[in-house]
Structure formats: structure tokens, C-alpha cells
Amino acid sequence: MNWHKNKGFSLVEVLVGAALVALWSVSSLRLLQVGLSAIDHAHTKAKAVEVLMTYLSEAQQTWTQGNNPKLSKETGQLHLTAELTPIDQFNATIEVTVYWGNDNELAQTFWLSR
């Protein structure tokens, strides 16, 4: 008979538990990094849409007054370029592209009328 009671965990159990905790923490940190990167990208894209809509409002007002809108604008890290295509004296289309970084851009075509 074994009168000596076994108390505590064995070395193998402790090592397996430590390995599981390490694996969980590394995967959680990676997931957190991916999530924060996605939030940052969405925030920048929302800023790009805001710049695009502000430009559209200004371009429509300028076109209504009989002038051509500015074809480039820079706001912080966001760069805006536009290409105006007149249809007649009252109508035109404008293709606007907002880009930031190397591979990120947002492009839309709008109709301007007087």
C-alpha cells in the first residue's frame, strides 16, 4: 500500500498546461493585431469617403456658379484627383479618385449639372 499521498501536478502536466497557455496567448495577440488593423483601415476609408463627399459638394457648387472645380486636393495622407469631362454647357461628369498608401484607393464618377 502506498501511504504517501500524491499532491500537486506532475512536470508533464505543468509543461502541457504552459504550452497551451503560450499557444493561446500567441494566437490571441495575432487575432487582436488583425482586428485592430481592420479597424484602422475602416477608419481611413471612412475619412476618404468624407473627403470625397465634401469635394463633390464643393464641385457641384463651383459648377453651378459656371466655373470648373479644382482637379486635385490633398488632405493629410489622403490625395484626391479628379477628371472633368464636359458633356455640354450645362452638364459634365467628373471621375474622382481618393487614394492613400500604395494599394488603397476609392474611385467614383458623378454627374454635375447647372
d(CA 24, CA 29): 9
Has residue 34 got a pLDDT over 60?
yes
Residue 75 is predicted with a pLDDT of 85
The per-residue pLDDT for 10 is: 86
Is pTM beyond 0.85? Reply is: no
The larger pLDDT score, comparing residue 3 to residue 69, is at 69
Confirm if 79 and 98 have CB atoms less than 8 A apart. yes
63-80 confidence digits (pLDDT tens): 999 899 999 989 889 999
Residue scoring higher pLDDT (92 or 10): 92
Per-residue model confidence (pLDDT) at position 5: 67
Alpha helices in the chain (DSSP H): 11-64
The pLDDT value recorded for residue 11 is 87
Q: Is the dihedral of CA 94, 67, 60, 86 positive or negative?
A: negative
**Measuring CA to CA, which residue among 91, 97, 86 is closest to residue 64?**
91
Q: Give the residue, 4 or 38, on which the prediction is more confident.
A: 38
Q: pLDDT over 70 for what percent of the chain?
A: 95
